[in-house]
Amino acid sequence: MAPSPSPASIALNRFGLGARPDDVPPGDPKRWLLDQFDRYDPRPPAFAALPDGTQLAAEYFADQMALAEARKQAKAAANDPKQDAATLAARKDVNAGVREAYRAATNARMASALATETPFVERLVHFWANHFALSADKPQVTIFAGAYEMEAIRPHVLGRFEDMLLAVERHPAMLYYLDQFRSVGPDSRAGLRAAQLRPDRPLGLNENLAREIMELHTLGVRTGYAQADVTEFARALTGWSIGGKGPGAGPGGDKDDGALGRFQFRPNIHEPGTRTILGKAYSEEGEGQAKAVLHRLATSPATAKHVSTKLARHFVADDPPPALVDRMTAAFLKHDGDLTAVYRVLIAAPESWAAVPTKFKSPWEWTVSSMRGLGRRDLGQTDIAPMQNQLGQPVWRPGSPAGYDDIAATWASPDALMRRVELAQRFASTAGDRIDARALAPKLMPAAVSPATTTALAQAESGATALALLLVSPEFQRR
């Protein structure tokens, strides 16, 4: 049996990202967490070094234009535009650009997690990026994934929920991911014209974003909205699109405001008229209509409860204590969705400090804590994306807008466990001769290492084996 983890160990591991060998265990664990709010840097150096969304869009669109041009020329020369050498080269450029943007951004995410001096807030970034999940399954989303977390999530994790919600739903990555940018009101100017010109192929609504906002981002599923509310919300959202002509630009023939790869409201595709959603009429014109709906959703009690439940599940237990969720919900509503007010309740709660490891680490959490535990401050030659693929939790690629699950049943599986052992062996093979696992264990988990693990580390046949065992020990698998 492992001894009960100390409050210091809980602060470092359950709330933080795992201790580093030279961390001094916090004497006042609650204060240590709260103080991070003042020190948080929403623009960590590793992300600041990356191109922003506008630059990424410019590069991506330029590559796409080159590809379109190459195809055109191949066609003119009576070549097969699919096989033509120039086309192939241009397509390669597009793919390489997407791959490189993803590689750089996933590495920046891990580098930030290793270097951060505010690991609790950094964990909150990971939490919120997963709450407002996008899945980098199509190139337009893949290229923006890092910029999305940087621009829509990081600035708002200590702010108001509504501000984060707005930033998320207006970010091109989300508008691409949930197909919003092409959604056209059937009675909008562009919709009516298209129906006249091409009756066989009318433009129209796409309700994907509207549904997932209600189901996943705000109210939560089964909270009383109906199909009609989803469709009406989808109508209100028409016009929320992306700036820039060329491939990937929204339809509708609006004058482009030049904000390439940025949110642009396109009045020509906005469905005119008043919308009724959840019993309330929205008579706002244009862009403000969906904003008004989002305001209502962001401040709804169902949203407060949904968000509080997920936070409590992430930090406290797979089945979060209802009394704690109620207190967090009340704080959310009382403070207009000020997230730090909700976090304060979480930190103050006795339930959060239960002296048993309540959570099984996800692959991402396990990798971050392993690398931090080995004293890594930067990535060196390591690429994070393939590593997380192997562990079964690719970065920003949960495969669905619900994001990754946050319960042990998802991650504690036979093959997943084997992969951690394989990776632990690889980590240890490069560090085993300079780190003594026996001395490291109590530093990473102050007063929380079991006699069985201590014995196993002492009896290991080599330093590397001891280190690998530490990283996969029952105590280290949990937080």
Partner 1 sequence: MSDHHHLPRRDLLKFAALGGAMLVAPRMALAAVETDSRFVFIIQRGAADGLNIVIPYADPDYAKLRGALAIDPARATKLDGQFALHPALVQAAAMYGQKQAIFVHATASPYRDRSHFDGQNVLETGGTAPYAVRDGWLNRLVGLLPKARDEAIAFAPTVPPALRGPAEVASYAPSALPQPTDDLLLRVGRLYQADPQLHPLWEAAREARGMAADENAGRAPADLGKLAASFLSRPDGPRIAMLETGGWDTHTGQDFRLTAQLKALDQMLAALRDGLGDTWSKTVVVVATEFGRTAAANGTGGTDHGTGSAAMLFGGGLKGGRVIADWPGLAQAQLYQQRDLNATTGLDSVIAGLAAEAFGIEPDRVRRTLFAQAPASRPLEGLLQRA
Using CB under 8 A as the criterion, which residues of the chain lie in contact with partner 1 when the complex forms? 1, 137, 178-179, 182-184, 186, 191, 200-208, 211, 215, 221-222, 227, 230, 360, 386, 390-392, 399-400, 402, 408-419, 421-423, 425-426, 452-453, 456, 460-461, 465, 468-469, 472-474, 477
- Find tokens 């791959």 and name the residue: 99
Looking at beta carbons only, is 221 or 348 nearer to partner 1?
A: 221
Amino acid at 327: R
Q: Which residues pair with 280 in a beta bridge?
A: 277
Number of CB atoms found within 10 A of residue 474's CB: 12
CA distances 133 to 54, 252, 306, 466, Å, are: 21, 28, 15, 37
Smallest distance, partner 1 to C-beta of residue 222, A: 7
Amino acid at 21: P
Rounded Cα–Cα distance for residues 155 and 268 (Å): 32
Rounded Cα–Cα distance for residues 179 and 253 (Å): 18
Rounded Cα–Cα distance for residues 35 and 216 (Å): 31
Looking at beta carbons only, is 199 or 279 nearer to partner 1?
A: 199
CA distances 61 to 53, 140, 177, 188, 233, Å, are: 12, 10, 17, 27, 30
Q: What is the 3-state secondary structure (H, E, C) of 321-381?
A: CHHHHHHHHHHHHHCCCEHHHHHHHHHHCHHHHCCCCCCECCHHHHHHHHHHHCCCCCCCC
Smallest distance, partner 1 to C-beta of residue 65, A: 20
Smallest distance, partner 1 to C-beta of residue 407, A: 11
